[in-house]
Structure 1
Amino acid sequence: MLGNEVAADVVRRVAEAELGDALPRRWAHSQGVAVQAAEVGRILGKDAALMVAAGILHDVGYAPRLAVTGFHPLDGARFLRDEHGADERLTRLVANHSFALLEAEERGLREELASEFPLLEEPLLVDALVYCDMTTTPDGGRTTVEDRVVEILGRYGDDSIVGRFIRRAAPEIFGAVGRVEAVLAAQPR
């Protein structure tokens, strides 16, 4: 069972098995997000391990064998729940990472996502995963949230589903990243 208490190496093996060979760039991004998650863990207390698990697994739904709906947050969360009995908080984080409900709406999947994996009512935890994802490049390096949004728009195009979503979500993404940066700045290292 994958969850808050599971060993990081088990979570990493699951993600690598699905993404490593099939989608090496996506795997590099996921590893970079996990590094950010480990650093952000200092503001999350008992949820630090959960954030690392969510970071490494957030894009697992891109794996070709898992892409049932073609919407990676939903496909990934279902995989974690159904094949691994993952903790509910982990599946809800994966399903809703980086304002996925807005993209689900673009895809006609909002009600399905919201009913199956309701958004966690833990704002700092939700914001922290947005921060980790949206300050990590596709190759796993660090970036600014502004540059990441520009990169996503450039990769997918303004008129694509992802382009429309990211333009709508950008203010929310910037807000989440700003809130996490403020908490990080207020904490002693």
Structure 2
Amino acid sequence: MWAYDLAQALLSDDLPRRWAHSQGVAGRARTLTAILGADAELLEAAAVLHDIGYSPRIVDTGFHPLDGARFLRNVEHVDERIVRLVAHHSCALLEAEERGLREELETEFPLEEPALVDALIYCDMTTTPDGTPTTTPARVAEIVGRYGPDSIVGRFIRRAEPDIHAAAQRVEGRLALA
């Protein structure tokens, strides 16, 4: 799939752990095929691409969802639904607010369908930095531990925590019914 090639080119050499995480998130996305139907491939592409904004080759604002989405839209001309998922992955609006970029993110990139937003949150927030499965509480704790509770990311992830858990529960509920 083209998305893997692009993500690998941007992440594997400079950020191998981020590349491992992205591959794990995409693997998790493949487990949701039963509940996503025709959108399964779209989610998998967004999953493997969600963190490309960390690539030193495309960093602009330093806010990876915005930088990644702009690159996908402006340089790669990727499907707008994938771009919107990357822009808003894992409650990005709350982090954008912490960074003073909420209006930019909201104005440039409308939200995607809620079920897909939930699915990408689930995939990202149930995958460790090394690409292995985890739980949302463990993932949030890991992020706070890595960045510190008083950092922008630490503050944002604590604010987003209820939404992250709720999204994961909605996805798990859909999976149980499938």
2:23 is equivalent to residue 16 of structure 1: no
| CA shift for structure 1 position 116 | 0.3
8 Å Cα contact 1:77/1:95 also seen in 2: yes
| CA shift for structure 1 position 41 | 2.0
| CA shift for structure 1 position 107 | 0.1
- The whole-number CA distance in structure 1 between the counterparts of 2:133 and 2:100 is 32
Q: 1:61 matched to which residue of 2?
A: 53
Count residues with an aligned counterpart. Answer: 178
CA RMSD of aligned residues (A): 0.5
- The whole-number CA distance in structure 1 between the counterparts of 2:76 and 2:88 is 18
Q: 1:5 matched to which residue of 2?
A: none
| CA shift for structure 1 position 83 | 1.1
- The whole-number CA distance in structure 1 between the counterparts of 2:138 and 2:117 is 21
Paired AA for residue 64 in structure 2: H
Of the three residues 156, 166, 170, the one matched with 2:161 is 170
| CA shift for structure 1 position 42 | 1.7
Q: List alignment gaps of at least 5 residues for structure 2.
A: none
Q: Deviations over 1:61-99 (max 9, x none)?
A: 000011100000000001111111011111000000000
Instruction: For 1:82-161, list aligned pairs within 5 A.
Output: 82-120=74-112, 122-161=113-152
Q: Which runs of 4+ in 1 moved over 3 A?
A: none
Paired AA for residue 18 in structure 2: R
Paired AA for residue 28 in structure 2: Q
Q: 2:40 matched to which residue of 1?
A: 48
- The whole-number CA distance in structure 2 between the counterparts of 1:141 and 1:61 is 21
- The whole-number CA distance in structure 2 between the counterparts of 1:41 and 1:175 is 20
2:63 is equivalent to residue 71 of structure 1: yes
- The whole-number CA distance in structure 2 between the counterparts of 1:11 and 1:88 is 14
| CA shift for structure 1 position 119 | 1.0
Q: Deviations over 1:126-177 (max 9, x none)?
A: 1000000000000000001110000000000000000000010000000000
TM normalised by structure 1 equals 0.93
Q: Deviations over 1:20-76 (max 9, x none)?
A: 000000000000000000111221010000010000000000000111000000000
- The whole-number CA distance in structure 1 between the counterparts of 2:146 and 2:58 is 22
Paired AA for residue 40 in structure 1: L
| CA shift for structure 1 position 118 | 1.2
Q: List alignment gaps of at least 5 residues for structure 1.
A: 1-7
TM normalised by structure 2 equals 0.99
